Structure 1
Amino acid sequence: MNDRGGESESDAGDGSEDGGFAGALTHRRLTVLGTILVLGGLFVALREVDLRTVAAEISSAEPRLLALAVAVYAVSWPVRGRRYGDVLAAVGHRSGTAFLTSAIFVSQTANLVIPARAGDAVRAYAVNTHRAVPYTAGFASLAVERLFDLATIAALAGLAIAWLTLGGGTGPLGVVAATGGARTALVAAAAVSTATVGVGLVVVTSARADHGLGAWLRGRIAGRPRLEGLLEAALRFADDVQLVARQPRELATIGVGSLAVWVLDVLTAVLVLAALGSGLAVGPLVAVGTLAVSVGNLAKVLPLSQGGVGLYEAAFTALVVGLTPVGASTALAAAIVDHALKNGVTLVGGAVSVAALGISVSDAVESEPTTATGETDSFLGKPKR
């Protein structure tokens, strides 16, 4: 124990020989730096927008529509809890919707307030502490949920692109050719979507094939206890993910839940755009709102800023301005209000959930899985016999 403490003290200095430049580049510092750079880039990109006009747009928003947007987004949270319950049930662990909704609130709040997106670890800690879900199953269920989120967002973006293209107006392909900001956002979204489809195909294919990879890897590292523990943890994680892929009915249920979650998220943004007086007809409003939210959330996948701040606003604004006659100030105001509204609901729900569950977010982030579950069920513990 003392040796580890001594190492920590020696590495703490930013300029020490042991830590060096690489030691200073922690995930936390990179996230903070990325947030500063993204916000700086957003400021430069929108330097011609009058911020006073943006503030005026926000202040003139229709209060009743904003209140409805808050209500719609709040409703999406128990839907998220139910969807996560379906994912956990597919890997053999059942829990109530109310508890899982609280666990998601806590984890998403951690993602907003703690750099390096520590929220996933907090959720795994919560379900392990309160429902004895092993860490491997907790992280596997999170991976499945993320894949469904990205696939659903990509599908909604595809539907919005088809609607806009067939509608005869300025299609996304025209925006790609003409508008730098929208082009970058769409290309990034396409890359993330393609990667998601690829990962999904690999998971489904490997789940239905007896490739013997696990046995081969065990043979290669036999006699190396530490590597054996890491491998067994990775294989249990992969087994839990593939377990879901082998259950078509559960896949369909989780898919329907994911669609409901993101339809409510899109509807929230559409209501915000309507509250700010976009002047768009219902059809184009829904299509553009869907594409803006989809691309904005796909952009947030890149861990470049704290809580996706700046990335979401930039992508959202670029798409709305590029596809509609809506001015940049109105589009930016809508992006800011939409993201702030969603983050506000998340923080309020997270505060209530932290108090209800009695979870210390900092303790959850700093805790090691091995201390929470015991050696047999730990993430890096000895393999079960």
Structure 2
Amino acid sequence: MKKMGLLPRLIIGIILGIIIGAVSRSTEVYFISRILVTFSSIFGSFLSFIIPCIIIGFVAPGIADLGKESGKLLAITAAIAYVSTVIAGITAYFFGVSILPKVIKAGEVAKKSVVNLEPYFSVTIDPIMGVMTALVMAFMLGLGMSYIKGKTLLNTMKDFQDVVALAVKNVIIPFVPLYIMGIFVRLTVAGEIFKTLKAFSSVYIILLLLQVAYLLVQYGIAGFISGKNPIKCLKGEVPAYFTALGTQSSAATIPVNLECVRKNGVSDDIVDFVVPLCATIHLAGDTITLVLASMGVMLMNGQAPTLAIMFPFILMLGITMVAAPGIPGGGVMASLGLLQDMLLFTQPQQGLMIALHAAQDSFGTATNVTGDGAIAIIVDYIAGKGKNRGKLVEVKAREA
């Protein structure tokens, strides 16, 4: 029997959490709710502990690997991918500011709860360092390993990366549905669940529409720069889009996307370079989701998602997305540290972010992958102009 995916297990966890929470408010099974809330508290503490490990384990080797590739084309591709990700976040912010306050009543979940469900006990697992310290350490290690071109430390960091990925894949991801169940039990017992679900449904619809609109903009820009037909190019990416919907993995979609981008007239050397690279560093779809979802959570809890708060978060998110493990839910796992440190999200709020991200993970991944094709078209045009200029200089030199 095929193993059940993360999304179905999360949905089951949410439904069971609502049922158990509703029943326990009026029967003798109240202790079950407290057991689940106790597990969520302990698991959340472990999650806080592993966040710096995820940042160091994935960002540092990622930066080192990027630095090993020399050439202007790498810098251009990375810059375009980063700018695209940041613009996606800023766009999501302005759409969120315009629309979310109309569909989410500010502070509707921040009001005093009917019942405050506490865990039986709590376990404190302190992180080895703060999130910002981990980010600075990751940048220093990554840039340093790239500069010294040594193998010993890089291989050690990659082993550490494998250990962290193992913990995420075999501990965090499998137990996330139970963690979410405990959070929804607490929300149901507190009488907040229907307000939360209503707000989340509004956020979900907005972010899906925005992801599609952003793809149209990306291909419009790529078409304007390269002279290609943007609609035709976007149609050529349909197989990659639907493959990503099914696999929920940018890495698993690379073989299909390589063929789609080639059919859009991009040269082979650019395709082979840009598509695998952008599968790692270009996550515009995830950024749209994380920005809108975090704004929704902030509004529900009476916080104002101002530009002064969100802009630094978006800038850091564009970098931190490089750390996203290549597993379902990896994007939100890599961003938990920023949510905790920059937006001051509590454990339940982080759990809600995990749930919302997982519910659209297929569409976010499909947006990421399809957008890679637009970047490949732009880079191919820039590289082609460079080659033509080189040939022109060579001809003039011969004539002279």
TM-score of the superposed pair, with normalisation by structure 2: 0.37
